[in-house]
Structure 1
């Protein structure tokens, strides 16, 4: 066989496999529809008095439409040693056939099969986002070895390998850029539609798209441990974990089915002797009771809604570790926030420059940043960063420089001595009197003050602060509007805590709070408010996240956050918390609607049956129709 023929054969095989997979995926729905066609055929045959042919056709409708649910019901009964809803439907359909109601029994099977297919569709839909993620991960990578490029499977990549990612390609594994500049689409990881600029030293993640510019990436994790894989595992695990409501319904189902069967058995005899019903009527009413008392809609009230909500969250970068956390989120009364890296950016920024009269702020900033560029202190880095963003002039090189540990930096420029650092380093009295106590005012606002001295005279002060994120105020306002009490926990001083709390719009704050104190304060909040959440970075706040009823980690693409909290925001986007709470509240509202509706329908149908108002066809349609409506209502959460 030549190469071209092999390619054609392989393509044909793949197409056939794809077609078979699609048919298999919709097998329940196809069986249900075929059952419906057979029911229509059986009804026509019966109308033409071809009774035997009609019964045979109905039998095929029973077998084809009911096979999947009957198999599921029998397997679960054997495994759990307990009867379930599926078995009730089997008994009801067989009972209907026994008393000659072949059409009604077949319709029961048909609608039950349709509702089962719809429930399967909901589950498949809820897994769609995860399947899509799994499909977009590249299988091959371009490894660079000794200047040569080699295409290998991603499973063969090792930590330290260098790979080339070209424009338009997906990143095959987690790593750090060592060469090149590009823009990355991280929607698959964070749910954020806007691309992110990446330079040398920045990290990239498997499954994200390199939009422009070739980059050389050093692999930092094996393929099996990438953030991409952990997200997939996390959502799959969440979808398999059942919420407290679902667990209660499943426990209730077993007892309820036994009670229904016991009542049905009594119904077969008691009305005949007490009410004078005929045996046919007694058995008929017992079969209707078996149908209408089945808790199909009640059982389907929760799981489809939970799966839909989890999938909705995953699509928007909100990862729930299970239905229990999603359900608890709607009951929140208070949320505690870590300050650094959560409400704030986590890095100090220059907020104010106050220069002595007659001196240029830009010139002082240029000299100060030129000196600080030789230091690795976070405040020095912030000053240099601010200067590069705001100055057109290039930095200069000091003639000499000395780092005075714990105090500041001393340097000589054009034979003049410059000092940059604390008040005690430049003279406390001079520092306090500069510009009528400007430094004290800055400190009262929670800012860190750096003094600049030239030849024994203070020429400027620079104020720095860990700046509140732009989206923080919006996020806190949304939570406050939802009736949730917000509080900030920080290890910073009272002045800093007060300033950040005021700017963030939180209700209250607790300053000088160590990690162990955070746990104590959370317990106090739980006593006062009940259900309390903690929002942190997932590392330093691990004890507090574990103590809270709901731990919410700010992800920012770190896999550590996936291990520490109940809910992970894949991007440091605080407004997503309000979105998650709204999603949880909507889910619980839909579940309540489903439960109340299904119980109401069951009670009305049971009462109508005892009063002999309802016949079997209507009972079948009303009961199974309510199940379909409940599932359709749950599907709204996928939007």
Structure 2
């Protein structure tokens, strides 16, 4: 088996030790079905000791006891392996929680600092983290912009941008600043950081069973009671049949117990917990942390996916895409003025304008020290920014950059005019889903910069695959309907909600849920938090705010919205695996019933269709088979049944034919083979 699907040497050894620890009564009684096996095995041990003390001969109690202990061990081992695979990831995260020396400052922008350890930090403290330093604890960027290496958390080598304001201000303790600097306000106490919470979630210390898992557990326990009653009735039935044919059967306790254990649904009961844990562990391999097994299970049944546009469908920052000069102005002249007005603009949009001018016309940044410039910062009231250049105290250039209404008003205040033809260009840019930014010099309009939302690569194909899985995709954005429609078409979503407020998102989710649909929501901003909390599956982008990550019940460490395909597939895998192994287990129990019960009444030769050698070998063969089938199915429970898009009816038929049929046939061959080996003296 591939190591990805099963165990390494280290995991095998640690899981073996944990499996023996799980023999404790406290753990044993957490699984009602296996608890009956545990109690029965203990009673058999007492019987063996009693007979040894009295000097009575043992029949087949010792081998039955041995294989019942192995049955319990294999059940514990399955869960230990599933837990261990998740804990391996937790150990790698734990290594990032070193006690980091950090620079604590008294105020934002302060260059004077005191060096303290990360464990001494308190919520509200402000730290300065410079290039090459580790971020000591979770926090919010309140000043600065920098590239941050989050590979310790996400496993991805590409750095991300973190900056003050907006939805990219959250930083995680243990990650590394690789350029510039950040002033960070601490938002988490030591021991309560995002990584600490991830470790706790991965280790599954507080993993709760899902409703489906609980219901299945109740069903299995009910079947156990029924089989218990059925096996108990074998004693008077055997005595009655024996009287009729003149032979008395002596049902020893070990025989009765072995028959009981073989007939109850031990296979699925032993693997049930491992299936749930492995579903969460498989998500971890895709860099998605699930806070509960319920979320993974719900992901397998979702009908509607809501996605926030900015940062989820798009890259989050608009980029300069094209320069559109007006008549009488060259594109290079427009690019030159646009770049000059953007040199002091530290926003991603401003930097992209500088880069586009450099790429298209090799316009390099100027020596600003040689110029007498006055920067006009962006103002929410004017919705413009710009620059004024002076020579010998006289103004030689007066450039403004901003929204259409603001620039038009500015030009008209200076006696200029924005023609209808120019307004037509602006409308065309808006229809494409882009944002027009106007550039003017004095009272003359130079042209328009097209800022384009960049849709993340490969999304259209991935959304098409979701559609084939029966999942509708809905984009949510605060943009106007025109812009929203253009981006929705480019991304390939089925529907969109424009000019959406947090209240509108909540309303849409509740409407879908009221119609009986399960809803998944993907978001990254604080304004997405209510919708993430309300949805059945809330996937928060790791690049988003702390509030969003707290509200979601899953966290995508790669911040890739198309990851939902893997999340849904793993959810469906979990449900299909549980259904397949339940089908196999029940069919397996029925087959064992018909395989070994007739052998207990060997004088009735026609009933012994498998021609088992003796009642003792028949019962021991069944016990051995019952124990060995559990480890044989561990790889399947960890890997999961391969998901193939099918209707529920087709999936049910597939389960019935493959796993139901296999469960019926496999025991006949397995028990017969073991009987041949036993009768030949090999075991």
TM-score > 0.5, shorter chain as reference: yes
Which residue of the partner structure matches residue 681 of structure 2?
none
Partner of 1:616: 619
Partner in structure 2 of residue 231 of structure 1? 198
Q: 3-state SS of the aligned residue for 2:271?
A: coil
Assess if the C-alpha contact under 8 Å between 1:230 and 1:559 holds in 2. Answer: no
Corresponding residue SS for 1:534 = strand
Which residue number in structure 1 is paired with residue 677 of structure 2? none
Relative distance call for 1:335 and 1:293 in structure 2 (3 A) is same
Per the TM alignment, residue 573 of structure 1 is displaced from its structure 2 partner at its CA by 1.3
Q: Distance in 2 between matches of 1:302 and 1:633?
A: 12
> Partner residue of 1:635?
638
Aligned to 1:469, the other structure's residue is in SS state: coil
1:246 Cα offset (Å):
2.1
> Does residue 166 of structure 2 align to residue 207 of structure 1?
no
CA displacement at 1:505 relative to structure 2: 0.9
Q: CA deviation at 1:381?
A: 6.9
Contact kept, 8 Å, 2:61 with 2:254, in 1: the verdict is no
For residues 384 and 129 of structure 2, what CA distance do their matches in structure 1 show?
A: 43
Would you say the 8 A contact 1:557–1:571 is kept in 2? Answer: no
Confirm whether residue 434 of structure 1 aligns to residue 421 of structure 2.
yes
Q: CA offsets per residue over residues 522-547 of structure 1, 9 Å max, x none?
A: 23334557222111125212232233
Q: Contact 1:350/1:465 (CA < 8 Å) preserved in 2? A: yes
Distance apart, 1:92 and its partner CA: 6.1
Residue 310 of structure 2 is aligned with which of 340, 353, 371?
340
Alignment coverage as a number of residue pairs: 578
Match of 2:655 in 1: none
Q: Secondary structure at the match of 1:502?
A: helix
The alpha-carbon deviation at position 115 of structure 1 amounts to 0.5
2:364 aligns with 392
SS at match of 1:336: strand
Q: 1:607 to 1:573 in 2, by over 3 A?
A: same
2:23 pairs with 1:69 = yes
Give the 3 Å change call, closer, same or farther, for CA 215–489 of structure 1 in structure 2. Answer: closer
User: In structure 2, how many angstroms separate the alpha carbons of the residues matched to 1:265 and 1:467?
Assistant: 70
User: Which residue pairs with 2:259 in the alignment?
Assistant: 289
Q: Does 1:109 align with 2:81?
A: no
Q: Are residue 470 (structure 1) and residue 457 (structure 2) matched?
A: yes
CA contact (8 A) 1:489 1:513 kept: yes
Correspondence list, 1:32-111, <5 A: 69=23, 71-72=25-26, 84-91=36-43, 100-111=59-70
Residue 247 (str. 1) matches residue 214 (str. 2): yes
Q: Work out the CA distance in 1 between the residues paired with 2:571 and 2:535.
A: 17
Aligned to 2:186: 220
Q: Does 1:319 align with 2:286?
A: no
**Closer, same or farther: CA 607–69 of 1 in aligned 2, 3 Å:** farther
Q: Which runs of 5+ in 1 are unaligned?
A: 1-20, 32-66
Residue correspondence of structure 1 range 402-481 to structure 2 within 5 A: 405-406=381-382, 408=384, 414-415=395-396, 418-421=399-402, 422-423=404-405, 424-425=408-409, 426=411, 431-434=418-421, 437-481=424-468
Does residue 96 of structure 2 align to residue 130 of structure 1? no
Q: Does 1:578 align with 2:565?
A: yes
Structure 2 distance, partners of 1:134, 1:618, is 46
Change beyond 3 A, Cα 1:238–1:244:
farther
Contact 1:85 1:295 (8 Å CA) reproduced: no
Query: How far has the Cα of 1:619 moved from its partner?
Result: 1.0
What is the Cα deviation at residue 386 of structure 1? 5.0
Match of 1:139 in 2: 99
**Would you say the 8 A contact 2:307–2:473 is kept in 1?**
yes
- Residue 297 of structure 1 contacts residue 627 of structure 1 at CA under 8 Å; is this kept in 2? yes
Cα distance in 1 for partners of 2:630, 2:531 equals 42
CA RMSD of aligned residues (A): 4.4
Quote the offset at 1:633 in angstroms.
Answer: 1.9
Aligned partner of 1:17 in structure 2 is: none
Selected match of 2:533 from 516, 521, 546: 546
TM-superposed deviation, 1:388: 6.7
Shift of the 518–557 alpha-carbon distance from structure 1 to 2, 3 Å rule, reads closer
C-alpha displacement at 1:457, in angstroms?
3.5
Deviations 1:94-144, CA, capped at 9 Å, x for gaps? 679977213432332342244045222332333221133224421353668
In structure 1, how many angstroms separate the alpha carbons of the residues matched to 2:95 and 2:572? 32
Matched with 1:368 is 338
Structure 1's 71 and 362: CA in aligned 2 closer, same or farther, altered over 3 A?
A: same
| CA deviation string 1:556-580 (max 9, x = no partner) | 1643233111211123212321122
Shift of 1:93: 6.6
- Structure 1 residues 174, 603: closer, same or farther in 2, change over 3 A? same
Q: Which stretch shifts more, 538-547 or 494-503?
A: 538-547
With the length of structure 2 as denominator, give the TM-score of the two structures: 0.72
Distance in structure 2 (CA, Å) of the matches to 1:334 and 1:22:
40
Q: Is the 8 A contact 2:141 2:185 kept in 1?
A: no
Say which SS state the counterpart of residue 451 (structure 1) adopts.
strand
CA distance in 1, matches of 2:180, 2:504: 48
Alignment match, 2:238: 271
Distance 2:458 2:250 in 1: 70
| Counterparts in 2 of 1:193 and 1:595: CA distance versus 1, 3 Å | farther
